[in-house]
């Protein structure tokens, strides 16, 4: 992603822990006005969300956008399914990959690029328990190495 006015709204750290991310895509998202205002205030969560392909369209489920305080009757359901905007060829490519066993689509982050709300989605393969343990061990080793490096350079 280029450095043109990029503002992160929500990040899904758990997705990178639970899945191997094979490929990433940037998709637009269809929102109503009050949802955009709420997103600009940073009130969004994608921790429990997932993506399905239905009738040739990508649908994002479980993304929680808090209702806008001044939105009154124009506020929509915070957990409503939202359509993602992607080229037809990309959707067909994803559908082919999802047909293989063990693949799924997960949202990785929600951000604004310029004035447009975007979702970074990842084609992911689930990790087994031993894969997660290896990741934790690597993280611990890196942390220990950084700690030792810091101590050595202190004196």
Residue 91's CATH number: 2.40.280.10
pLDDT at res. 155: 63
Is there a domain that residue 136 lies in? no
Is there a domain that residue 137 lies in? no
Burial category of 118 from C-beta neighbours within 10 Å (exposed 0-12, middle 13-18, buried 19 and up): buried
Structure tokens belonging to residue 45: 């969560």
Question: Using the 8-state DSSP alphabet, how is residue 89 labeled?
Answer: H
pLDDT at res. 4: 67
Low-confidence ranges of the chain (pLDDT < 70): 1-4, 71-77, 130-131, 154-155
Domain of residue 55: give its range: 6-127
- Total structural domains in the chain? 1
Separation of alpha carbons 122 and 15, rounded Å: 9
Closest CA to 94 of 139, 54, 35: 54
pLDDT at res. 126: 77
């Amino acid at each position: 992603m280029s450095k043109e006015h990029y503002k992160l709204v929500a990040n899904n750290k758990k997705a990178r822990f639970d899945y191997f991310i094979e490929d990433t895509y940037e998709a637009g998202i269809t929102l109503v006005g009050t949802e955009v205002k709420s997103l600009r205030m940073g009130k969004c969560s994608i921790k429990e969300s997932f993506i399905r392909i239905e009738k040739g369209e990508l649908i994002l489920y479980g993304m929680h956008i808090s209702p806008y305080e001044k939105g009154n009757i124009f506020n929509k359901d915070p957990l409503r399914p939202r359509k993602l905007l992607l080229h037809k060829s990309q959707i067909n490519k994803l559908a082919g990959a999802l047909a293989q066993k063990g693949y799924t689509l997960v949202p990785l982050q929600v951000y604004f690029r310029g004035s447009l709300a975007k979702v970074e989605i990842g084609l992911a393969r689930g990790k087994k328990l031993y894969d997660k343990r290896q990741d934790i061990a690597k993280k611990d080793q890196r942390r220990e190495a950084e700690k030792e490096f810091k101590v050595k350079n202190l004196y």
